[in-house]
Amino acid sequence: MRKIIIEWSYPMDINNIIYDERMSDVGLYYITRNFGGNITNLYIGKTTYNFRSRLEAHMNHWIGDHRGIIQVRLGYIVYPQNITRQYRKELIDSAEKTLIYFMRNNLKRNKQCTKDCYPQYWLDIHNTRYIGNLPPRLYFTHKEWYGW
């Protein structure tokens, strides 16, 4: 199983993060809602193009359906280092699927990869910094994956 470390940014209001210098980067993002002091997990996504285009698409299609403060954390794979662009894209894709699978019962919006997460996507994910409601480590043994 491949190990990765994802470093999550401080949560920022979605209306402000759009103007952040990191919007041209690629990686993972984690959208939450703060309404009346309650934090709700809304969405985990990825981009291999840039954060701005993905977040703007969400703002135009469904973010307005939720009251409260919508916050975004940006996730960067910081380990392994010195990898090819193609391998980084593959890890981002696998990380999104694994995160969604683990968080499937807590997400309000995205539902892909919630019934199955195939072995080729399995990762041992270590979440660091501003992880919000994400577990510090996401990992299942083969026994847990297969229900033995």
Tens digit of each residue's pLDDT, the chain (148 residues): 789 999 999 999 999 999 999 999 999 999 999 999 999 999 999 998 999 999 999 999 999 899 999 999 999 999 999 999 999 999 999 999 889 888 888 888 876 655 556 666 678 999 999 999 999 999 876 666 665 5
CA distance 82 to 88: 9
At a CB cut-off of 8 Å and minimum separation 6, what does 138 contact?
A: 98, 99, 102, 123, 124, 125, 127
Q: Decide: 43 and 57 in contact? Cβ < 8 Å.
A: no
SS3 32: strand
Left (φ > 0), alpha (ψ -120 to 50) or beta: where does 7 sit?
A: beta
